Amino acid sequence: MTMSRRNRREWRIILWISLASAVLSAYFGQAVAPAEEPLLTGVLQGILTSLLIATPITVFEVRRARINSLGWMRRLPLAGYFLVKVAFYCVVIVAGLILSRLLMSIGTPRVTIFDSIFRNSVLFAIGMSVFGNLVVETGRLLGFGTLKHLLVGRYARPRSEQKAFLLIDMKDSTGLAEKLGAIRFHELLNAFFRDVADAAIECDAEIHKYVGDEVILTWPAGPALKEGDCLACPFLARQNIARNAARYRDRFGAVPEFRAALHCGEIVAGEIGDVRREIAYVGDTLNVAARLLEACKSLGLDVLVSAELLAQVRLPPDLQAERLPTLTIRGRDAPLEIAVLSLRVGQTQA
């Protein structure tokens, strides 16, 4: 069975966090070990403790959204959500420390569990868990790509870049909101964006922003863009939604549909804001993509792409592009050459 890119990405995150935790725990283990113990014993104690504590916590944090039985956590108020996580952390930390001591003391006639080293280990594990949780939650809030760029200061000064953009907008969102009510419509949006996010990860896209019922995906210019994954992305998102159609009907009585527009060009990227900072993209490229999305609605089409982008990427074999009359863009002198994307005859979504 082939593992999806999202699963591979999640397991890579789990692996790297577990390795980093093991290194830190090995150092801590030898630092707090009694002087009479061999150095290797403290190192092994730290690594084993890390495997028993950091790894299950990391798996819980990274894979939680994928575990259906834990969906109730997302509906908890913030205070309840953190209380549940704190309780889980405490159980794993204490159980992991006790188990690691028992395993390391096999063959020893007398075992001491609760001592000053145990107390220090609990404090160290809690500190590591809080720090790791802060990184994960901040990454989820900002996007891990955005968090990385903010930490390294990539966009501390505005810089010009070539990027492709995909704008996806849910159809008839107003009607769905009236039918479902605000709370259930929010749940529908979350499920819809989750299917789009799966497609984005499969196509190596970065999720730039959610705006109401619209999501903006982006790709940097380069070899990955030329492969044409950006053109396949909206059809993969549609396939994900079709695969979950029964779930949508059961929960919401409707299966969401969307329009999409793709364009590429130069933008200026830079950190913006004071109280809350984010990375903003400024330039004509996003404005043109937004006009393309409006044209989807007026022309009654689902996926439009600019000829500028088509000229730079390889068209996936299961897709076809049909040229349309040029589109006049407000504020742009030259008309925009566009095409409609669709599956080739004989291709299916599911």
d(CA 115, CA 169): 58
Write down the pLDDT at residue 254: 92
Q: Are residues 127 and 163 in the same domain?
A: no
Residue 150 in any domain: the answer is: no
Give the Å distances, CA to CA, from 35 to 30, 40, 97, 143: 9, 12, 20, 44
**What is the average pLDDT across 284-311?**
90
pLDDT tens digits, 128-137: 777 776 776 6
Specify whether 192 is located in the same domain as 122.
Answer: no
What is the average pLDDT across 195-222?
A: 88
* Measured distance CA(124)–CA(53) in Å, rounded: 11
Report pLDDT digits (tens) over 319-345: 999 998 888 877 677 788 999 999 886
Neighbours of 115 (CB within 10 A): 11
What is the number of alpha carbons within 13 Å of residue 69 lying toward its C-beta? 1
Residue 75 lies inside a defined structural domain of this protein: yes
Does residue 58 sit in the same domain as residue 128? yes
CATH number at residue 264: 3.30.70.1230
Average pLDDT over residues 53-70: 73
3-state secondary structure of 314: coil
pLDDT, mean of residues 172-188: 91
**Which H/E stretch holds residue 15?**
helix 5-32
> At which of 83, 109, 142 does a domain end?
142
Helices 39-63, 116-142: inter-axial angle, 10-degree rounding: 30
Lowest mean pLDDT among 76-85, 98-107, 121-130, 275-284: 76-85
Q: How confident is the model at residue 91 (pLDDT cuts 50, 70, 90)?
A: confident
In a domain, 258, yes or no: yes
Of 107, 142, 177, the domain-final residue: 142
Residue 15: is its pLDDT beyond 90? no
Q: Scan for tokens 């397991």, then name that residue.
A: 11
210 and 299 belong to one structural domain: yes
Regarding whether 321 and 182 lie in a shared domain, the answer is: yes
130 is in which domain, residue-wise? 5-142
115: left (phi over 0), alpha (psi -120 to 50) or beta: beta
- Residue 172 shares a structural domain with residue 268: yes
- Verdict on whether the full-model pTM lies above 0.85: no
Which of the pair, 79 or 50, is modelled with greater confidence?
A: 50
Q: Domain check: are 228 and 275 in the same one? A: yes
Mean of the pLDDT values across residues 79-92?
Answer: 77
- The pLDDT, as a whole number, for residue 245 is 93
Single-letter residue type at 178: E
Residue pLDDT, tens place only, 95-107: 888 888 888 777 6
Q: Is 311 within a domain? A: yes
Is 349 among the domain residues? no
Instruction: Identify whether 17 is part of a domain.
Output: yes
Please give the C-alpha separations between residue 334 and each of 71, 99, 259, 291, 330, in angstroms, as whole numbers.
50, 70, 24, 14, 10
Q: Is residue 96 part of a domain?
A: yes
Q: Burial level of 61, CB count in 10 A (0-12/13-18/19+)?
A: buried
- Look over the chain and give the mean of its residue pLDDT values, rounded to a whole number: 82
Q: Do residues 116 and 249 share a domain?
A: no
| Residues 190 and 326 reside in one and the same domain | yes
Do 104 and 191 reside in the same domain of the chain?
A: no
Mean pLDDT across 88-116:
78
Into how many domains does the chain fold?
2
In a domain, 153, yes or no: no
User: Are 69 and 191 in the same domain?
Assistant: no
In this predicted structure, what is the pLDDT of residue 1? Answer: 47
The verdict on 190 and 310 lying in the same domain is yes
